[in-house]
Structure 1
Amino acid sequence: MSKVIDVELRSLMKKFQNNIVVQDFNLQVEQGEFVSFLGPSGCGKTTTLNMIAGFLDPDGGDLLIKGQRMNGVPPYKRELGMVFQTYSLFPHMTVAENIAYGLKLRKISKSQIQERVGRVLDLVKLPHVADRYPKQLSGGQRQRIAIARALVIEPSLLLLDEPLSNLDAKLREELRDELKRLHQEIGVTTIFVTHDQEEALSLSDRIVVMNHGFIEQIGTPKDIYNRPASEFVHTFIGKTNRLEGEVAGHEGDSLIIQTIGGLLVEAKSANLMLLPGQKATVFIRPEKIRLSADTAPEGRNRANGQLKLSSFLGSYTECEVQANGHSISVKLQTVDKGVELVPGKAVSCSWDAEDVLVMPAERG
């Protein structure tokens, strides 16, 4: 069965004066897919979304929605729903009137408007606020109404521009789960802009990681996290330990790296094109490291050191260990009974060769 492409960007480019903010952007978004644009501030993700919405015209390349070229086509002719960071609700209208606004512009009958408004209010679990005004709602409720207003026109494409960034942490998590539920229920093709990696990882079918207007990597959340294509992706998505060194040799399908601090690190199924003597960078995720009170002699993938910091964060404990001139971050879901997490204690860190990622130092 052939895939249906709802949005296609071909070599899209945008510049402001002489500053190119999006360059050579190529992407296909399938029907029903949830795709996130993820990256730091100024990377071009919102600019790209605004070109898809029609608020900005590209300076190069082609933009297609449902197979139709949309360069120069105004937003109201694109049949899409947009949710902004700042809600953008009309303060003088009730919730029901806000939601109905787009339907009235489309000359939908009153009976249909009433039915569709009621349906989306049920969908976002706020049927009881129809007669209230935006100022009478909480931030989370206002954002749900903004989502309902975008969905009521039954768009073929839903665009979300950092819709959760103005909310507090707990409310942001609740609304994130609500967005996931809504997408599963209605299946509308969705493009979501965020700088929050947890949002992107939890919501997306695929993630587009952006940096300085370029695409660094496109992949599933698991691919982006476990098989990053560049050092930027690895360090931007989640925490990581970064150790510099050089290749000491090969053993079968393993690469042996000696770090600047003298640690020997084995990386299984690593980039075997790296040659002995070549500078390399080693990455190990904090949650992949084990902590022990056993300070037996060091070996491969093992470092003895001193516990410097220990922070209990509810579902896990974050530790910092000083070993061989390296500051090693460790994330523990459970703490072994024999390990006292007291600063100054002698501890040992160990990890598996399969959990080590190696990149040429030049990539950084």
Structure 2
Amino acid sequence: MAKTYDVELHSIRKTFGSNVVVDNFDLQIEQGECISFLGPSGCGKTTTLNMIAGFLDPDQGELIIKGKRMNGVAANKRDLGMVFQTYSLFPHMTVANNVAYGLKLRKVPKAEIQSRVRRVLELVKLPHVADRYPKQLSGGQRQRIAIARALVTEPSLLLLDEPLSNLDAKLREELRDELKRLHQETGVTTIFVTHDQEEALYLSDRIVVLDHGKVEQIGTPWDIYNEPASEFVHTFIGKSNRMQGKVTGIQGTRLALSAGDAGGAFELQASPRGSSFAAGQRVSIYIRPEKLMLAPDGESASGSRYACAQGRVRQLSFLGAFVECEVAVGSESLTVRVQSAAQQGRLETGQAVTVCWNPDDVFVFPGKER
């Protein structure tokens, strides 16, 4: 039996003049999934969302929602709920009337409107503000009311266009938790547009990483972070140490690499991850700060799978649960993230240390020839 999807995008393309904004976008979304479109400004994520919503039509390709072709179908015929970056609440209406607005347009009976408004306000934990006006609410409360208004119509698909970007850091974190809880409780299929990688990693079942209108990778948060398909994905998601180097040889299943300047190069190994490299080839080398370990000078990490190099601490930055250490290794400067409690009193600026890593945690991408 063929698998059915809530949303299908087949070879979707959208241009504005000579500018290709979305190019050959393919995606299938299962019922109940939360999918994030993630990428920098101008990558095509909001344009794609607007095509799904019906505010734009694709120039090429096919858009299917719940098994029905939606090319050319008006936005109000698509059974969608949408939450925008701005709250878009009617200032002259109470919260209850704002939430009820879509139900009134659908001519839902009054008693049912009252019941559904009360239920959805309880869902977003704001039943006590039903009689207030938007100006009497905080930014976080307004955005939760905007979400309630989208959910009250019981849409088959919920679209969220950077709904947290106008909130301060603490409110963003609180509402992010709220969105995750709401998705788990309602089970509504959700597409979330964001440029914030932490939001995408936290909320999503799968992430679509976009750059210049093209899909770079589609995968679970774990896959996107730990097995990036391209150099762009690796640099856009999370923090990483980047070094320029070259392949010095192939040692069994490992690449032998030299990183840094000739006068201060150090040797390391990496897994080729199925890619082909040749001796002498220039490469970009990446390893995430949390994948590096520090030991006192002369010691090394236990286990034969680890490789090590000698270094010296240049700078320490306390970040609460973690300490970020800038360590000079040869001509390179590596950022190492270690737990504060584990390193309390053990590190100081100028200290000689041993930096260790697992070669499987080193990523290598083809570099530009000089």
CA distance in 2 between counterparts of 1:155 and 1:133 reads 25
Structure 2, unaligned stretches of length 5 or more?
Answer: none
Counterpart position of 2:281? 278
Post-superposition Cα deviations, 1:51-76, rounded to whole Å, max 9, x if no partner, equal 11011111121111112111111110
Summarize the alignment of residues 100-249 of structure 1 with structure 2, pairs less than 5 Å apart.
100-249=100-249
CA distance in 1 between counterparts of 2:64 and 2:48 reads 13
Summarize the alignment of residues 20-39 of structure 1 with structure 2, pairs less than 5 Å apart.
20-39=20-39
The verdict on how the C-alpha distance between 1:21 and 1:337 changes in structure 2, with shifts beyond 3 A counting, is closer
CA distance in 1 between counterparts of 2:344 and 2:55 reads 60
Counterpart position of 2:293? 290
The verdict on how the C-alpha distance between 1:164 and 1:338 changes in structure 2, with shifts beyond 3 A counting, is closer
The verdict on how the C-alpha distance between 1:339 and 1:280 changes in structure 2, with shifts beyond 3 A counting, is farther
Which segment is superposed worse, 202-211 or 168-177?
A: 168-177
2:270 aligned residue (249, 267, 270) = 267
Q: Is the 8 A contact 2:272 2:364 kept in 1?
A: no
Q: Is the 8 A contact 1:253 1:272 kept in 2?
A: no
The CA deviation at 1:11 is: 1.1
Which segment is superposed worse, 345-354 or 239-248?
A: 345-354
- TM-score of the pair, normalised by structure 2: 0.93
CA distance in 1 between counterparts of 2:183 and 2:175 reads 12
Q: Percent identity?
A: 65
CA distance in 1 between counterparts of 2:269 and 2:346 reads 28
Q: State how many pairs are aligned.
A: 362
CA distance in 2 between counterparts of 1:255 and 1:190 reads 42
The CA deviation at 1:269 is: 6.1
The CA deviation at 1:8 is: 0.8
Counterpart position of 1:342? 348
Counterpart position of 1:305? 311
The CA deviation at 1:131 is: 0.4
Q: Is the 8 A contact 2:13 2:22 kept in 1?
A: yes
Q: Establish whether residue 255 from structure 1 lines up as the match of residue 255 from structure 2.
A: yes
CA distance in 2 between counterparts of 1:96 and 1:272 reads 57
Which segment is superposed worse, 338-347 or 123-132?
A: 338-347
Q: Is the 8 A contact 1:254 1:270 kept in 2?
A: no
- TM-score of the pair, normalised by structure 1: 0.95
The CA deviation at 1:248 is: 2.0
Residue type of the partner of 2:31? Q
Q: Is the 8 A contact 1:38 1:195 kept in 2?
A: yes
Q: Is the 8 A contact 1:3 1:30 kept in 2?
A: no
CA distance in 2 between counterparts of 1:316 and 1:338 reads 10
Residue type of the partner of 2:8? E
CA RMSD of aligned residues (A): 1.9
- Give the secondary structure class of the aligned counterpart of 2:6: strand
The CA deviation at 1:341 is: 3.5
The CA deviation at 1:339 is: 6.2
Q: Is the 8 A contact 2:312 2:353 kept in 1?
A: yes
CA distance in 2 between counterparts of 1:337 and 1:180 reads 34
CA distance in 2 between counterparts of 1:307 and 1:107 reads 68
Residue type of the partner of 1:210? L
Which segment is superposed worse, 238-247 or 203-212?
A: 238-247
The CA deviation at 1:280 is: 2.1
Post-superposition Cα deviations, 1:228-263, rounded to whole Å, max 9, x if no partner, equal 000000000000011221222223322221113421
CA distance in 2 between counterparts of 1:14 and 1:224 reads 25
Summarize the alignment of residues 43-54 of structure 1 with structure 2, pairs less than 5 Å apart.
43-54=43-54
Counterpart position of 2:367? 361
Residue type of the partner of 2:210? M
Q: Establish whether residue 322 from structure 1 lines up as the match of residue 321 from structure 2.
A: no
Q: Is the 8 A contact 1:209 1:233 kept in 2?
A: yes
